[in-house]
Amino acid sequence: MTITYIVTRFLLHEAGFGLQPAEQVCFVTGMPLLPGVIVLSQLVQVPADCAVTHARPSPAGIARAQTLLWALGQDIYAQFHSHPGRGAEATHPSKTDLATARRWEDGSPFLGAVFSSDGHYVRFFNHQQDSVVHVYGERYTQLEPLLFELHDDDLPSTDAQPRVSDGSAGTPPLVEPGADGNG
């Protein structure tokens, strides 16, 4: 049976830049939408031993995260991590990555993903499970069935300060909650 994963472009943006420098790792939770369809929804950080050549999540950290997710009626459906190197060639899964996917696929749906060190490419993979990935949003190119180029170069910075109106130019001033005694 083919498992279809739906992931938002925003989640890929978060992961691509959050998993830097290279060889960082996180898990991803989500929800089954229909039989064989899983929506990936949130990155789940776990403690990990990360170096330039590997990322090993803490088994105890995985167990704690999985226990909490199960208590909330959720599960781990994917593992995202980054590799050193730029471009699509940096996103090929290693033998260790494929062995990890094999272990996780034993009995449940699971998807691996490797991001390049610049966060602009992501390749999804499995050991044996047949998967399809659909990205919801814009600013990407699907290069192969499970390989995507993410176009983030000219996106606004997520750490930019919000613009606050002072009432000039005909816009009403913004009022902080509680400033009028009602909040």
Sign of CA dihedral 103, 3, 27, 143: positive
Asked whether the whole model's pTM tops 0.85, one would answer: no
User: Do 144 and 138 form a contact (C-beta atoms < 8 A)?
Assistant: no
Q: What is the pLDDT of residue 158?
A: 58
Residue 176 scores a pLDDT above 50: no
Closest CA to 12 of 122, 142, 90: 122
Return the top range by mean pLDDT from 7-21, 94-108, 132-146.
132-146
As a three-state string, the secondary structure of 145-159 is: CCEEEECCCCCCCCC
Which region among 11-25, 75-89, 166-180 has the lowest average model confidence (pLDDT)?
166-180
Closest CA to 97 of 111, 107, 77: 111
pLDDT in tens, 66-104: 899 899 999 999 999 999 999 999 999 999 999 999 999
Give the CATH architecture of domain 2-151: 3-Layer(aba) Sandwich (3.40)
Which are the contacts of 63, defined by CB distance < 8 A and separation ≥ 6? none
